[in-house]
Structure formats: structure tokens, C-alpha cells
Structure 1
Amino acid sequence: MAYIDNPLITVIIPVYNGESFIEKCYTSINSQSFKQMEIIFVNDGSTDNTEMIVQGLCDVDPRVRLVSKANEGQGIARNVGIDFARGKYVSFVDVDDKLPPHAYESLLELIESSSADVVYGLSAGEGSTEPILPIKTGRFEDESSLSYLSGLIVGGLPEDKEDSMLGMGANRALFRREFLDSYGIRFLSERLVNSEDMLFNMDVLAVCKSACLLTKVVYTICYDANPQSYSKRYDPNRLETFIRLRREMMDRVKHWSRFRGFEIRVERRFLANCRVATKLAVFSSGSLSDRLKDVEAILTNPRYRGSLATYPISNLPLKQRLFFVLSKLQITPLVFALVKLRYGRGLQ
């Protein structure tokens, strides 16, 4: 494999105590139809056998590299991966997820043929059918079309069925590394904001000269693979990280003309995040009394109440409208019961 020292794609995989998922993740990447890549596992201060397992992969596959560092979180680990990357393009994979076999081949063909700074594909849950979305695809290179693409990621309008058409994940994309470096685009720590992917994508879309959208699933989210992942755990500070995310998003909307009029989209995203925080509180491991108090703390948060007071809730889809009306009225037991009825034990 003469191309090992000149990879076209760098796949960056942050790992914290991921010993149970590493080999399955590696197999998914190794099974790609495209092979000219390097695979960087960034060991983020793991205390399990992560380092030993990755080192074993390095011994049998010269494309695999191990970078170990102190624990700082996924966003910072991704940044370290970018700094070590040698590929023309970079991609990000969570260790408990996987890729369809032709993901990189499809993304690479489009980004190479279009000379775009970034190409996005679709993501789907494991076992899901490929979604059919009523959206424009192809190459976006003027202000109007780039603003349109940005809107699909940042958040929906009040009358839209979905909170966003494409979601915030950076995992379903291929980024031109020279472009990221030239603008110094990097991730913030998810310990400060939730989600760091959204801000990374906004920073990319604010300054890119061209972007592409491929309506093909290129990333598989394994929702049930890791019940201990942060996205499934209740954290009493989560709402505050969502509030910081809202503030960071609003700052970008004010700064970049490409995001003009996106305030309503940011609010839709924030309300969706508040719904997630409520759901996680309802299904946390605390006593019923404690969980009710946690939900009440969310419903009485001043920032959340401010958004509920000004957002056109009546334009939202029926189920969301009911949830936010009850939240606005601060009827904690009914909000709690509604979440239990809607989601059962599931958190998706």
C-alpha cells in the first residue's frame, strides 16, 4: 500500500473508554470501498483497554495511528486529530457508530468533482430506511444557496415538520483540511456547549466558498450501542450548555450576513434542545420526586421561559405545540406524563 504516507482522507475517531466498540468501528471503516485513508484514533485519557486495543490495530494495519492525550472531551480530541491529519480531507466518526460500505467513495467523488470546501451526506439510525427529503441537492456556491443549505442544518421554521431537515452532526461530512486550517476552524469543547458540531458547521458554512449536499446515507448512528454515551445521560448542567449553545449560535447569526434572519431558526433549535433536556430528566435514574423537581427546574428557567414567551408556538406541529403549551403553563406533572407517554423508555 504505497499510498499510506499520502492518504487522501483522514478519519478521526475520538475514544474515551471505548474498548467495547473499537473493533466494530474499525471493521466498518476497513470495509469501505475506498481504501486510500489513514485512521486516527484519539485516545482521550481512557482508563480501560482502549490504548492496547488500538495499538493492536496499528500493528496489523499501517493506516491506523494512535494519538493519546489527557481527557478533555470529544471536541478537543477531534481538534487534536485535525492537527495530526495528513489527508487532503478529514472526516469524523464516533467510536460507537459505523458507516455504510460506499460512504467515503460517494462523498469523495462529489467533493473532488465539485472542488467544494465541504460535502454533506445524510445520517440515519441503524436499521432505518434511507430518508426521502424535499430539499435541494447538488452544489451551493452563491450567497442565496449557501444560506439555504445553512438553514437546513441550523434549524427549522415554526411551520416546518422537523426541528431541522439535516441535523447538526459533523460526522456525515467530508471537509477539505486546507480550508479548515486556513480559517482556523476547530471544535469547541462539548463541556461548554452542547452540541459542538452545530457551531463547527456554522463556522464552516459562514465562510465556505462552495458546499455540496448528497442525499444518500453516509453515516449510521447506532443509537442503542452505547447506553452510557453522554447524549443518553441526564446531566443537571445540560440546560446551561444548551443556553450557551443558543448564545453562541445567536452571536454567529448577528456576525455573518449568510445567516440573516436565522434568529427564528436558532430559537426552534433551542426549544428542541430544551425538549431533549426535559426528556432526559424524566428518564433519569433519580426518584420520582427528584425527577419532577428536575423537570420543574427546566420549566422555570428564565432563558427557556423567555423563548417560550416570544416564539410562535401555535405554528408548530401538533405534538410539539402541546408539549410547549404545557411547558409554558408550567404544568410539571402533565409535561412529565406527556413525555412518559410519548417516549416510553426510549430516548430517540
Structure 2
Amino acid sequence: MGLSVIVPVYNGEKYIKECLESIINQTYKDLQIIVINDGSTDNTKSIISNMSMKDTRIEVINRENKGASSARNLGLEYVKQDFVTFVDCDDTLELDMYECLMKFFYDDSYDIVHCGYKRVGKIGEKLVNGTGKIYVQENFEALKNLISGRMFVGSLWNKIYKINVINDIRFDETLKINEDILFNYKAFKKCKKSVFIDIAKYNYIEREESTCNSTQNLKKAIDSYKVSEIIYNDCKCNKLKNYALERFVECLLNLDICFYNSNEKNKKLVCKKIKLKIREMRRKKDIEGNKRILKSILISEVPFLYKQLYKIYNKIRTPNWDVEI
């Protein structure tokens, strides 16, 4: 009952060694560690090559740069074990993470097992929930939490998948963001039963990054909208419709403000189409909740005012990318 670990890396010379050491030192030993060197131009190739000579469980695949999603898809082609997981190359694991998760698969009824995590930054560690509770979820409950962003995050790195559940699922290589949400939506849709252990076993390391420009933000907003639309269209005729609709509306509103703040030549035309869509959804009463209704009215009717209010809000708010139980 072995586990394949897929680690895409691009120019990760500063942190790939620490990441891989946290994997090879796991108390769970039956590992196949697939490292995809995605066209690195720094010393990454040498580091992972040396580490693979010391630990034969590490398999290195060198190729030209095509992006993390493409690297993960390539890694899936090399999987030899019955279970698979993913690790971001700049993060680390608690040494008993895989032992803690894999033991649940001895009960063959579980298709996905996942855990909590903590954020590690300059000012210290932030435990995300960490109630210590164990949640066994049927298909519907897990999908509801994934779509609505409750209880657990849609990331890949804190989840272990039974390979026969995801053997026909691949990452959308055109997406810059939310490709993990879409992958997990498809995975949990096929999953009959999963286990979420609310104990932090994965260390999400917050790295210094350059400030995203408006073009990058717009691309992310477009991709988030695309993913939410795919999920919403897939849920229109089932009990998940309202959860998918809420996510879709939020992404639509965010897309409008990102286009409005961009320098795109066609932004007026796109914003006009979005406003018409927002008005139509309000007419059909698809947009619910006082805050969301007010936001939709401001965006569709007085976008200049909304832009000014958003600037003020964005300066004083404290972003929360995590989830609540």
C-alpha cells in the first residue's frame, strides 16, 4: 500500500532540499518520490540529482519549462503506487504526516484522506483551525464544503488520493489559478467517502513574492470565473446548485471589478456584458444576501463609486485565505 509523491519544481534551489528532506524522512517509508524539474535555470537540477543518488526512492524527470499543472500531469504518468499526493516545492511536511493519513486507507471505503495545515511566515506560525476532530464525509457533504470554501481548502498538498479515483483526471494547463479547485471538484465527485483530519500536518511556507500587477490579477480573476462557471454548469440540476451559484456570483462580481481596474482595450465592452449578466441574475433573484446584493447594485449601476469604495476597503482589510469550521 505505497504512496507516490509528485513534486514539481522550478528554480527552487533555495528550498527544494528542505522540502525533499521532509519527505524522505517521513515515518511512512513506502514512497515513490517523483520530482519534475520544470526547466529550472538555477542549481535545482544538481541538488535533486545529488539527493536522488542518496535515496533511490527519488525519481527525477528533467524537462523544459511548461508550468506546474503540466508538470503534475507528467508526474501522474509515472505513478506506480496505489495512492498519490502532491507537494509544493517550497513547503515542508510534519514527519508523521503520511503515516497519519495513510492509516485510514486500511479501511478500503475511503477514497480521499486529507488534513489541516499551518501557515509559516516571518512573524511566526498560524494554525488553521486545528480542532483535532476527524470528519468522515459522504460525497455530497465534501463537495458542498469544497465549493463553498468551508472546513477545508481546495489545495492539493494536504490530500492523498486513491489512484483509481483520479486515474482519468488531469489538470487544466491553461489555468493560472484554481486549477486545484477544479481537479478536486472532479476528484471528490468520484469519491464515495472521504476523511478530513483537522490536525496541522502540512507546513505552508509564506514566501516573499513580487507584487502582482493588474494583468496578473485579471488573469487570476478570469480563471477563477472559468472554474466557478464550469462547476456551476455541472451543478445546475442537483442539490449543489445553490452552493455553486454563490461561488459563481462572487467570481463574476470580482471579474467585473478587475476588468474595471485594468488597462484592457476591450474592458468597457466586457464590463457592459458583465453588468447585463448581473442585472439579469438579480432579476431572477439568483443573487442573495444583503452584502452581495448591494455589491451587485453598485457594480452594475454606479461602478465608479464602487471602485472608490473598494480602494478604501482594500487598504484597511485583513485578507483571510483560510477556512472556518
TM-score (norm 2): 0.80
Secondary structure of residue in 1 paired with 2:14: coil
- Distance in 2 of aligned mates of 1:58 and 1:82: 19
The reply on whether 1:209 has 2:195 as its aligned counterpart is no
Taking only aligned residues, the RMSD between alpha carbons, in angstroms, comes to: 3.6
CA displacement, residues 294-347 of structure 1 (integer Å, 9 cap, x when unaligned): 8xx69947447745863224156xxxx887776554222221121012249x99
Alpha carbons 1:326, 1:334 under 8 Å: kept: no
**Aligned twin of 1:113:** 107
The reply on whether 1:312 has 2:288 as its aligned counterpart is yes
| Code of the aligned partner of 1:245 | V
**Aligned twin of 1:158:** none
- Distance in 1 of aligned mates of 2:241 and 2:191: 16
The reply on whether 1:150 has 2:143 as its aligned counterpart is yes
> 1:174 Cα deviation (Å)?
0.5
The reply on whether 1:96 has 2:90 as its aligned counterpart is yes
Residue correspondence of structure 1 range 23-62 to structure 2 within 5 A: 23-62=17-56
> 1:67 Cα deviation (Å)?
0.8
Alpha carbons 2:11, 2:42 under 8 Å: kept: yes
Residue correspondence of structure 1 range 268-347 to structure 2 within 5 A: 270=251, 274=255, 300=271, 302-303=273-274, 306-307=277-278, 310=282, 311-314=287-290, 327=299, 329-330=302-303, 331=305, 332-343=307-318
| Code of the aligned partner of 2:288 | P
- Distance in 2 of aligned mates of 1:34 and 1:270: 40
Aligned length: 308
CA displacement, residues 209-266 of structure 1 (integer Å, 9 cap, x when unaligned): 322222222322112x2515989993442322222222222233247x4745433343
- Distance in 2 of aligned mates of 1:200 and 1:266: 16
The reply on whether 1:139 has 2:136 as its aligned counterpart is yes
Alpha carbons 1:119, 1:174 under 8 Å: kept: yes
Secondary structure of residue in 1 paired with 2:93: coil
Identify which of 110, 126, 147 aligns with 1:128.
126
Distance of aligned partners of 1:226 and 1:53 in 2 relative to their CA distance in 1, 3 Å threshold:
farther
- Distance in 1 of aligned mates of 2:3 and 2:214: 30
Alpha carbons 2:26, 2:95 under 8 Å: kept: yes
What stretches of structure 1 of length at least 5 have no aligned partner?
A: 1-6, 156-162, 282-289
Secondary structure of residue in 1 paired with 2:317: helix
Secondary structure of residue in 2 paired with 1:237: helix
**Aligned twin of 2:201:** 218
Alpha carbons 1:117, 1:179 under 8 Å: kept: yes
- Distance in 1 of aligned mates of 2:202 and 2:36: 20
Alpha carbons 1:154, 1:167 under 8 Å: kept: no
> 1:71 Cα deviation (Å)?
2.1
Secondary structure of residue in 2 paired with 1:216: strand
Secondary structure of residue in 2 paired with 1:42: strand
| Code of the aligned partner of 1:129 | L
Secondary structure of residue in 1 paired with 2:107: helix
- Distance in 1 of aligned mates of 2:236 and 2:144: 15
Distance of aligned partners of 1:335 and 1:174 in 2 relative to their CA distance in 1, 3 Å threshold:
same
**Aligned twin of 2:69:** 75
The reply on whether 1:267 has 2:265 as its aligned counterpart is no
- Distance in 2 of aligned mates of 1:269 and 1:106: 36
Alpha carbons 2:85, 2:160 under 8 Å: kept: yes
Secondary structure of residue in 2 paired with 1:234: helix
Alpha carbons 1:326, 1:335 under 8 Å: kept: no
**Aligned twin of 1:159:** none
TM-score (norm 1): 0.75
> 1:173 Cα deviation (Å)?
0.6
Identify which of 187, 202, 219 aligns with 1:237.
219
Secondary structure of residue in 1 paired with 2:127: coil
CA displacement, residues 187-224 of structure 1 (integer Å, 9 cap, x when unaligned): 111x336211111111111122322222222322112x
- Distance in 2 of aligned mates of 1:185 and 1:137: 27
Alpha carbons 2:115, 2:197 under 8 Å: kept: yes
Alpha carbons 1:19, 1:48 under 8 Å: kept: yes
- Distance in 2 of aligned mates of 1:219 and 1:231: 29
**Aligned twin of 2:151:** 165
- Distance in 2 of aligned mates of 1:245 and 1:106: 31
Q: Percent identity?
A: 22
- Distance in 2 of aligned mates of 1:333 and 1:291: 11
Report which stretch shifted further, 75-84 or 239-248.
239-248
- Distance in 2 of aligned mates of 1:35 and 1:322: 54
Distance of aligned partners of 1:304 and 1:185 in 2 relative to their CA distance in 1, 3 Å threshold:
farther
What stretches of structure 2 of length at least 5 have no aligned partner?
A: none
The reply on whether 1:187 has 2:181 as its aligned counterpart is no
| Code of the aligned partner of 2:66 | E
